[in-house]
Amino acid sequence: MQTKRVVVALGGNAILSDEASAKAQQEALSKTAKQLVHLIKKGYQLIISHGNGPQVGNLLLQQQASDSVKNPAMPLDTCVAMTQGSIGYWLQNALDKELKQAGIEKEVATIVTQVIVDEEDSAFVNPSKPIGPFLTEEQAKDEMKKSQVQFKEDAGRGWRKVVPSPQPLGIKEYKVIQTLVDNGVVTISAGGGGIPVIGETLSGVEAVIDKDFASEVLAELVDADLLIILTGVDAVAINYGKENETSLFQVTLSELEEYKAQGHFAPGSMLPKIEAAMRYVKVKPESEAIITSLEQLENIEIENVGTKIRNR
């Protein structure tokens, strides 16, 4: 069987349960690792990316709460790096454990990943990426009165702080990631969409990159055969939440373009996943993107499991 290289982008539900403690997140990642090992057993070369919205938001709150002259709060780009490290550490250990139990000898490595963005990106004047906990509208408005931060309603689930979300242009460490994968190492990279950096000096900026877009760029750069974007549902649906809701299993770019134009996919929720998947199959027309849930990961080779997106 020909080895396939796959980038798997983990959604927040693969990391964070209702409880934000380290123990609870480690338990969630233990369950996630069990699912990921199914792909390794099938012979896939695995590159894992993940979100960090709740984690980096909570870390920012902790930084702000303890901010002082002697112990100043860390900036957002550094908080992204910190959560890359903590989540990577938890997931790396969970994968090591599951691989050992499965009798598979394979190394796992976490790469602190910098993602290049354009300092002139319009996102810096129009913050849109939600991070941190959900608040009520009243709580969000109180927070906005007290500081310069912005909050927006997030897909009917509550109000969240929003920060700039520039488009990823490149990944500094992609050659390192590629070398590791070529040598059989499972890599965890582009965590939280990567640390946003600008200019020749790769200076960090106050922003958060969408992890699905960063994962798509990574999949291009490491020449992946497959991009899997995990979310909270088994498949993408049109007319979501209505009586005529219909799941999409096999879908082409042109069909998705039409559904997107009709407004079927919510901004800040399913729409970025759709757009990232579409970009990938446009660039790599012989490849495929799949949007599905963590629970369906071991069944992705079955025809009507997940939403499989092809160029035509």
For the chain, how far is it from start to end, CA to CA, in angstroms? 25
Q: Residue 156: how many CB atoms within 10 A of its CB? A: 8
Q: Active-site residue 12, yes or no?
A: yes
- Looking at residue 113, the DSSP 8-state letter turns out to be -
Catalytic residue among 129, 161, 284, 308: 129
Catalytic residue among 34, 161, 273, 308: 273
> Per the structure block, which two tokens stand in for 142?
């109180």
Q: Active-site residue 193, yes or no?
A: no
Catalytic residue among 52, 53, 57, 211: 211
286 three-class SS: coil
Q: Active-site residue 242, yes or no?
A: no
Q: Active-site residue 211, yes or no?
A: yes
Burial of 18 (0-12, 13-18, 19+ CB in 10 A): exposed
Report d(CA 161, CA 7) in Å as an integer.
Answer: 28
**Angle CA(241)–CA(208)–CA(21) in degrees, nearest 5?**
75
Question: Any idea which residue has 């798509």 for tokens?
Answer: 216
Catalytic residue among 13, 97, 172, 260: 13
Q: Active-site residue 129, yes or no?
A: yes
Q: What are the catalytic residues? A: 12-13, 129, 211, 273
